[in-house]
Amino acid sequence: KAGVTQTPRYLIKTRGQQVTLSCSPISGHRSVSWYQQTPGQGLQFLFEYFSETQRNKGNFPGRFSGRQFSNSRSEMNVSTLELGDSALYLCASSGGNRRVQQYFGPGTRLTVT
Amino acid sequence: AQSVTQLDSQVPVFEEAPVELRCNYSSSVSVYLFWYVQYPNQGLQLLLKYLSGSTLVESINGFEAEFNKSQTSFHLRKPSVHISDTAEYFCAVSGPGDGGSQGNLIFGKGTKLSVKP
C-alpha cells in the first residue's frame, strides 16, 4: 500500500495570503488528522476528520480550517497568514473502528515571509 | 487535560552504549502510549506502542519501552545504540475523542538523540 502523501512538500507565502495543503491517506483509511510542528511549540494537534466530519479540534484560531472529501482526501486551509504560521504541517491517517494507530506523511514545510 | 513530559531535550551518547529516553504522562483516563521517531526532513515513524496487555513493548530495531502505571511513565530504552539511531524521538499519548476514537495525539517536546562514534 502507498503511504500517506502530502502536497506540496515545500511552500513559501507572504503575510496576509492564504494557503491550502493537501493530504491523501493510506487506501482504506477514513480518518485524517493534522498537526503543526514548530521549534517553539513542538507538535500540536490541529483537527481530525472522519467520514467527511470534523471529529476533534485543537486549540487553534479560526484561520485554520479543514475539510475531507468522500474519497477521504483532506485539505487544510490557513487564511491571513502570519509569520508564526511558518511550520511543518503533518498529516496522519488511521483506520479501523477506534483509529488508534496513526501513519504520518512527510509533511509540508510552509514558510511565511 | 492530558500532557506528556519528556525530561531530556538532548541526549548525547557514544555508539554501542545503552540509552534511556524518559517520558512521563498525566491523564485521568486510560490512555494509549506511543513512541515516534523523526529523522531530519522527514515525517514521524511509529517506533512502538502500548495499547493493553504486557507492559513491556518492543520494536523491531531493538528499542523497548515499559508502561508503568503507578509512575505514569513510558521510558524508551535500547541496550546498544548505533549511529543510525541519531534522530528526534517523541513520546505521545492518545487523547479522548468523539465516540471513543483516539484520533488526536498529544506529544511531548521531543528528545534529540545524538549517537557519537
Tens digits of per-residue pLDDT, B17-71?
999 999 999 877 777 899 999 998 888 999 998 887 888 888 878 999 999 988 8
Q: State the pLDDT at residue A79.
A: 95
| Cα angle: B70, vertex B7, B105; to 5 degrees | 75
Residue type, B83: I
Whole-angstrom Cα distance, residue A34 to residue A74?
Answer: 9
Q: State the pLDDT at residue B117.
A: 95
Residue B96 has pLDDT above 80, yes or no: no
Residue A32 has pLDDT above 70, yes or no: yes
- Judged by CB atoms closer than 8 Å, whether chains meet at B32 and A100 is answered as yes
Q: State the pLDDT at residue B62.
A: 92
Put simply, the chain B residues between 60 and 79 with a CB less than 8 A from any chain A CB are none
Tens digits of per-residue pLDDT, A54-112?
988 899 999 999 999 999 999 999 999 999 999 999 999 988 666 678 899 999 999 99
Least confident range from A13-17, A79-83, B95-99: namely B95-99
Question: What's the first-to-final CA gap in chain B, in angstroms?
Answer: 41
- Do A106 and A91 meet the contact criterion of CB atoms below 8 Å apart? no
Residue B77 has pLDDT above 70, yes or no: yes
Long-range contacts of A44-51 (CB under 8 A, 24+ apart): A44/B107, A45/B95, A45/B104, A45/B105, A45/B106, A46/A76, A46/A89, A47/A76, A48/B97, A48/B101, A48/B103, A48/B104, A49/A74, A50/A99, A50/B98, A50/B101, A50/B103
Identify any residues that bridge with A26 across adjacent strands, giving them in sequence order: none
Least confident range from B22-26, B77-81, B101-105: namely B101-105
- Do B32 and B48 meet the contact criterion of CB atoms below 8 Å apart? no
Nearest to B30 by CA among B93, B73, B108: B93
Q: State the pLDDT at residue B55.
A: 84
Which of A33, A98, A104 is nearest residue B104 as measured by Cβ atoms?
A: A33
Handedness of CA B59, B97, A6, A84 (dihedral sign): negative
CA distance B77 to chain A (A): 21
- Judged by CB atoms closer than 8 Å, whether chains meet at A98 and B101 is answered as yes
